[in-house]
Structures are given as C-alpha cells and as structure tokens.
Amino acid sequence: SSQNLSEEFAEAARQLKKEAPRIQFGKIDVTHQHDLRKEFNIQAFPTVKFFVNGSREDPIDCKGVRKASTFITWVKRRTGPSTVLINSTDQAEAIIKADDFAVIGFFRELHNDSVEVFCETARDVPEMPFGMTVSEDVCANYGIQRNSLVVFKKAKPVHNEVLEDGRQNKLGLTRLIKTFTLDLVTEYNIETSVKIFDVPVENHILLFTPTNSEAFSEIYENYQSAAAEFRGKILFVLVDTDEARNGRIFEYFRIRDIDVPAVRILNLTSDARYKMPADEVTVENIKEFCQSYLNGKAKQHLPSEKIPQDWDKMPVKVLVGKNFNSIIF
C-alpha cells in the first residue's frame, strides 16, 4: 500500500541522511499538484522518481522497490559503484553466504562491454548483492568460465549465463535475475500477487487447476519442468481454482469449472490473452505453447469487449478485459 511504502521511504531517508547527506528525499501528493502530475506523467501510485544533478529532465524511475533497505541499495548503486570488486575466494564466499541470493560476474578484464552491462544490471536489481572478479584463483575455485554471470541461491550456483561480448540485453538480464526472487512456479494469492507484478516480465502463463485433485501432482510436475526453460521470458503462475478469493481471475479469463485444468498466457502490456490449444497439460504441450507464443505464432483468445464510455460514472465500476488489469491491480 501507499502508506506502507511511504513509511519505508521515510526510513530510507533517515538512514541516508547520515551516510549521504547530498541525497534529498521528498514526497508529493499529486491530488493537489496537478501540474506536477502532468509534467512527470504520473499514472500509477505510488511512483518514485530519482532526479540527478538538479535536472528536471528524464528522472530515473524506481520501480518495484518496497523496503527501506532496498531503497538505500538502489540509491547507492545509482550514485556510486553498483558492484563489489572481488579479489579473493574468501571475499567471494563472504558475499555468497551473506544473503539468500548473490550474483557474481566472472570476467577476463575489468573494462569491456560485458562488465558495463553487468554493472548496469546491478543498478536495477537492488534486491541482491552483486560482485565481480577478474581473479584467476576465484574463477578456478568455482570452475566458472570467464565472462559469465552466476546466480547463487543459498550459496549454491543455480544459474550460469554466458555474457557474449556485451551483446547481452540488459533488460533481459534484469528480468532473468529478478525472477529468482520468486519460485520457479509461483502460486497466486494475496501475498504473492504484489511480487508477481513487481518482477518486470510482461508475459505470464497461468495454470488454472484445483490443487487438491488426484491429477494435481502430475500436472504440477509437468508445468514446473517446462518453467525452467522459459525463465526470464515467461513467468509461470499457478491459480488454485478451489480458492474462492481467486474468483475475479477466473472471470477475467472466462474460465469455467468444466474448463480446468486450463492454461492461458497473458501479455501485461497489450492485455492480449492466449489459450493453450492442447487439452492435456504435458511438458511437451506447455513448451510448444510457450515457444509458439514467443515466436508470435499463437492465436489471441477471446478479444475483450470495448470499455463502455460511462464505465466510471456509477459507484460500481464496469470492468471488461481491457480495463480490468489497470483498475484492479
């Protein structure tokens, strides 16, 4: 909520006042400041923007940051080095073991395009510590080839991404690393919904199924097996159809009891929905569906009716597919 974020924001301001007095924190109630709302095109609440060197032009958006500690890391990485330079195995171990997650870049040299992309990615993922090394000993100790980015979870390597001569897409890397803050398959509920929408992956695949059915464990296993291949490109979500609080989502996707188990893909940006052509939830069918979607070959499902002109006039708002996401979430 805005209130909660406001408190965390204030706590970050208090802590940074001692460490970095040059950084000023301020808040604006745009319900009274229409000109500012228009100038900075504020559409969602709360919105946090970072202004650099006294300029009003092109402030940096600070998205998905909700805790004081993450705010502090985000600001520090924008105003100073975004990664720690690792010179020894002991230093690497300390970073890897200090937190649930760590991201380490293993490089041949300190100045190349891959290093630049790595440092830029670190600025956008304040949830995790980032370190980089050019030390032969450290690379040999972990048996990692140079120019690789490795994600460690609970001190074990869980993902290795080779960075090819800086041609790596920073947004793609950011998305990939942020998905590690979620499970490979995330069950949708009140707590996880915020996290799901904070991860900047615009393609979501949803499996609608009752979790207490006999077939559930096999269906879930198949769904999870397919998920690893599309990490960072498509976010895998599970929706329990026996949970009454998920009713709004069934309505949005027009899922009926007789349809489950059902698999849909949603693109958050265009609000386009896609239905898996096959009925059976097998690893092969899920992979084929995801691949055809990413290749632009999947057919859109059930176009939403137009938003009625007077949808906002009455106390009970009229929701259709096209405005559901922006109003509810």
> Within the chain, which residue ranges are assigned CATH 3.40.30.10?
1-79, 84-179, 183-295
Three-class SS state of 43: coil
Strand, helix or coil for residue 82: coil
Of 146, 144, 151, nearest to 122 (Cα)?
151
Tokens 């870049």 -> residue: 105
Q: Looking at residue 303, what is its pLDDT?
A: 53
- State pTM to two decimals: 0.79
Q: Per DSSP, what are the bridge partners of residue 132?
A: 85, 105
Residue 254: CB atoms within 10 A of its CB come to: 15
Task: In whole angstroms, give the CA distance from residue 268 to residue 112.
Answer: 34
The pLDDT value recorded for residue 168 is 66
Q: What is the CATH number of domain 84-179?
A: 3.40.30.10
Q: DSSP characters for 173-216?
A: HHHHHHHTTS-SEEE-SHHHHHHHHHS---EEEEEEE-TTSTTH
Class of domain 183-295: alpha beta
| Token code pair at residue 106 | 């293993």
Single-letter residue type at 85 = L
| pLDDT score recorded for residue 29 | 85
CATH superfamily of 1-79: Glutaredoxin (3.40.30.10)
Could you read off the pLDDT tens digit of each residue along the chain, which spans 329 residues? 677 888 998 999 999 998 888 888 888 888 888 888 888 888 877 888 999 888 888 889 888 888 899 999 999 999 999 999 999 999 999 999 999 999 999 999 998 889 999 999 999 999 999 999 999 999 999 999 889 999 999 999 999 999 876 556 888 899 999 999 899 999 999 889 888 988 989 999 999 999 999 999 999 999 999 999 999 999 999 999 999 888 888 888 888 888 889 999 999 988 899 999 998 999 999 999 999 999 999 988 865 567 778 878 888 888 877 677 777 76
CA distances from 261 to 27, 220, 222, 277, 321 (A): 46, 10, 13, 13, 21
